[in-house]
Amino acid sequence: MTGKTEAASEFSLGLKIQKRILWTLLLREIITRYGRENLGILWFFVEPLLFIVGISILWTYFDSRTVSTGTLAEFSIVSYPTILLWRNTTSRVTKAMYSNRPLLHHRLIKPVDFMYARIILEFASVTASFIVIYIVFLLLGISHAPADLLDMALGWLMICWFSFGFVMIMGALSELNDAIEKVSHIILYFMLPISGILPAYIVPPSLREYLLLFPLVDCVEFFRYGYYGMKMKTYFNLEYTILVNLVLTLFSMSLMKVAINKMQRS
């Protein structure tokens, strides 16, 4: 019984230390990225907020047609933020461990902590921006209340889960090979057609079957299902998506371990 108590105590202590480390790195990232002057920490959510608003306006201006339900502005608010989670975060984590190597003289800090801190910061920023602009759109009557708030929240978490695995893989590859940092933008552009940005129902059935093999599409479709409900036809397979996301996460952690070992040897 004593052994179990000691193990639980050590785990609790380790968790507290890990939380302190991540919080310190988060504050450092915020100050480094946004500074202390002008808007300062407000850029934490203003930056992605401007992206979301800008895209919503552009989509509405260039194409006034509606999707299967609602307006394009409404559709963009529940579609474009999903791209920011994996696209913006990827650009933040490339070479994150290499650029922060001097901080590793603090024994409690591990290389992967730099990745976690940047991912948490970016995910929190995009999520906060989405919530703010969604509430504003809701008050203006552009958006409506979700058909199922729980499914919508779970869909968002599923997108975050996929994004975490994808971003960790890209971050690890950038540490293993310098060329990845240079071609990452090309990879992200090629990701757009299979990112779920377009609703699956407009894709021809012959292509939709293959498109839905990419888990991000299923995640975004489930997120839209939570918002639109039966008003929009959506396609997703949660069991398949959870399985693929789990495999993606395990692979990303394994690859990150390889990248850390290489960095420690050099």
In which residue ranges of the chain is pLDDT below 50?
Answer: 1, 64, 66
pLDDT at residue number 49: 66
All residues at 6 or more sequence positions from 228 whose CB lies less than 8 Å from its CB, including other chains? 69, 70, 78, 147, 234
The candidate with the shortest Cα–Cα distance to 167, out of 207, 117, 233, 101, is 117
Strand extents, DSSP E, the chain = none
Q: What pLDDT is attached to residue 47? A: 62
- Written as one letter, the residue type at 138 is L
Please calculate the CA angle 231-236-239 and round it to the nearest 5 degrees: 140
Contact indicator for 90, 188 with CB cutoff of 8 Å: yes
Token readout for 189 is 């552009």
Q: Which residue from 107, 93, 105, 80 is spatially nearest to 17, judged by alpha carbons?
A: 107
Tell the burial category of 173 from Cβ atoms under 10 Å away from its Cβ (0-12, 13-18, 19+). Answer: buried
State the amino acid at position 196 in one-letter form.
G
Q: Whole-model pTM?
A: 0.86
Interhelix angle for 111-140 vs 43-62, to 10°? 50
Cα–Cα separations (whole angstroms), residue 47 to 43, 54, 88, 201, 221: 5, 11, 11, 31, 25
For 38-51, give the DSSP string. Answer: TTGGGHHHHHHHHH
Contacts of 220 (CB under 8 A, 6+ apart): 79, 82, 155, 159, 195, 196, 197
Do the Cβ atoms of 226 and 155 come closer than 8 Å?
Answer: yes
| 49: phi then psi, degrees, rounded to nearest 5 | -60, -40
Where exactly are the structural domains of the chain?
20-265
Is 97 in contact with 117 (CB distance < 8 Å)? no
Beta carbons within 10 angstroms of residue 144's beta carbon: 14
Q: pLDDT tens for residues 124-182?
A: 888 988 888 888 888 888 788 999 999 999 999 999 999 999 999 999 999 888 888 78
- HSE-up (13 A, CA, CB side) for residue 68: 14
Residue position matching structure tokens 């599409």: 217
Q: What's the pLDDT score for residue 46? A: 65
Q: How many angstroms separate the most distant Cα atoms in the chain?
A: 68
Where on the phi/psi map is residue 152: left (φ > 0), alpha (ψ -120 to 50), or beta? Answer: alpha
